[in-house]
Structure 1
Amino acid sequence: MKIAILGFSGSGKSTLAQQLGAEHQLPVVHLDSLHFLPGWVERDPQEERALLGEFMDTHQDWVIEGSYSYLHFERRMDEADQIYILMANRWIRLFRVLRRTAQHLGTSRPEMADGCPEKFTFEFIRWVLWDGCRPARRQQYLDIARQYLHKTTIRKN
């Protein structure tokens, strides 16, 4: 079984990935953990693609969580048996982000690279509330749902 999880920041992608991975005994990849090196340094995109490509080549089953359109996006969508798109409203997502920040402040969340401590920044809050959920991104998710209608579930909570 292959499961792809997409959605806005704070929508519950990591939580759902962990739940489905445990339930079905599948390896889980959080794309944020591929994207960032310790200290919130962004990894080279070619290296990210190579790491994810190698994972997909060597695993028959998986849960991959995150959008990152440059990371084998079409391949993930094509190969996935199930696609979840999480589109909770901005206020629910803000609440979840604030809750996880309070839980993990100063430490790295399990789904992040070591050395990436949880922090509270205005830029991230702006991303959660506005920049990361612009109409074009919402439309992209709706287009994916239409293209892969038979295997896509949209969750709005």
Structure 2
Amino acid sequence: MQRHSLSVSELTEPDVVRRALDALCREVDGEAAVAKTALRKRSAFSEVLGAAVGKGYFAENPLARVKWQAPGVSEEVDPACVPNPTQVACLLTAVGRQRGRGPHLEAFFGCMYYAAMRPAEVIHLQISQCHLPKSGWGMFNLSGGVVTAGKEWTDDGAVHEVDSLKR
């Protein structure tokens, strides 16, 4: 491990820090990490370097001298994987005919397709947020999403909590 590791003092070199930041943008298998993951890893790296400053290894955090920007997200959707409007209409009709929760699921998946909503946003949707005319397109005023956090992780011990909208 020593042969493949850098000494702490080498982190004072901007090129070394830049290479480390670029490595944080990759998963273990070499695939590009999503932007949020890269930023989370950079934050952890900054905390480690901040602790090193506190221990006297550096006079200042080496990240402060490096200009670096995480790569943007470029997610390309394969059109062959997305159902067309006719297929969606058939699927929603079939789901709606199912006994029990069929109509509920028809509305759920319809919101996801036609309003491009996330599942958590659909779950949190209230009738008061829906402005639906008799014909044509309507509007939803979304206010958040319901996420499953687990009762150990919520302030009130509930399994679900309302979270703000994602960008």
Of Structure 1 and Structure 2, which has the larger fraction of its residues in strand?
1
Scaled by the length of structure 2, the TM-score of the pair is: 0.22
State which structure, 1 or 2, has the greater radius of gyration over its C-alpha atoms. Answer: 2
- Greater relative contact order (Cα < 8 A, sep 6+): 1
Scaled by the length of structure 1, the TM-score of the pair is: 0.23
